[in-house]
Amino acid sequence: MGRTRKSVGGIVLAVAMSGALPAWGEPENAFDPDQHQATAELIDELSGQGIPRAWLDQALDEATFSQEVLDAMEGAAERRLEWHEYRDIFMSDERVEQGAAFISTHQDAFDRAEELYGVPAEVIAAIIGVETYYGRYKGDHRVLDSLATLAFYHPSRGRFFRGELAAFLAITHEQEVAPESVLGSYAGAMGYPQFIPTSYQAYAVDFDGDGRRDLWENPVDAIGSVANYFAEHRWQPNAPIYHEATGSEAAEQALSFNQTSTPSVTVREAAEAGLVSDDELDPSLEIVPLALTLADGETRYGIGEYNFYVITRYNHSHLYAMAVVELAGAIADTLEGQQ
């Protein structure tokens, strides 16, 4: 049953040494419910929720083990790049211009999203622009393969990805989509906004009213869903996101910089430590102190407000949030220049 990429031959020992290989099987029969208890238990669980067992058997029989996915999990750009390198990936004239065009093409959807959820069009567009270049690159990994591999073979996050695999199977059954046909990221994120399956279940909306929440092919649903995601994470309408600041090495030693936890440092405390906003801010405002490495080795200092923190709920990286902030600002400037 469960088919395997030819590339897995010879990796069984390496996976076992890493702790990723379950005691109940090898990749050659990675997802065969007749041989492996964990797969059978997942099928039991989902069939108990009303998904036909035969459908689940067939879906998991299509799953393919991928060592490539396990390897990719170790090399995410947010963990290995400095700010100037990360910024260069996303900040190009073409991506900015395409972002402005994306808003213009779907202006009604962006207007409705901003009115309903309070999230600016340029921020929604920047998220989709960073994630998939406005739907141009949605990923080339089969989501079924990625999630099955990570659910049953990741050395430390198997439980998390098991939940994502269960959610993915539920979504595809509900939407009447063949699980093996869906492409996405190596971590199982899907569609225009690259929602993981549990986020798809929780935050996707049918924004065009056609009766389906389609983030794979429908940009209007994606626009509404990104806005809903931010609203559900307590986006503050009309509030700033980021401020330039003056800082020092002494400030970096005194404060925790680049944290993506709930803001807890006040503007007053930051100033006393040597991080001062270029804008006048309420001394009691809780912020995210930021220090970004530039190409010349110098440090750029900044201050993120609560909405900056909300962006990190989408991707828990201060680099990601800064890329969204800068791309959104450039898109807004381009749209303003077109008026």
What residues are annotated to the active site? 131
Residues facing 246 on adjacent strands? 276
Q: How far apart are the first and last CA of the chain?
A: 59
Distance CA 186, CA 66 (A): 9
Residue 319: what residue type? Answer: L
DSSP-derived 3-state class of residue 221: helix
Give the residue from 205, 207, 195, 193 showing the smallest Cα distance to 134.
193
Task: Give, as one character, the DSSP assignment of residue 263.
Answer: P
Query: What number of CA atoms fall less than 13 Å from residue 153's CA on the CB side?
Result: 32
DSSP secondary structure, 38-97, as one string: HHHHHHHHHHTTT--HHHHHHHHHT--B-HHHHHHTT--HHHH--HHHHHHHH--HHHHH
Are the C-beta atoms of residues 335 and 103 closer than 8 Å to each other?
yes
CB atoms within 10 A of CB 326: 17
Tokens representing 5?
Answer: 């990429």
Are the C-beta atoms of residues 91 and 327 closer than 8 Å to each other?
yes
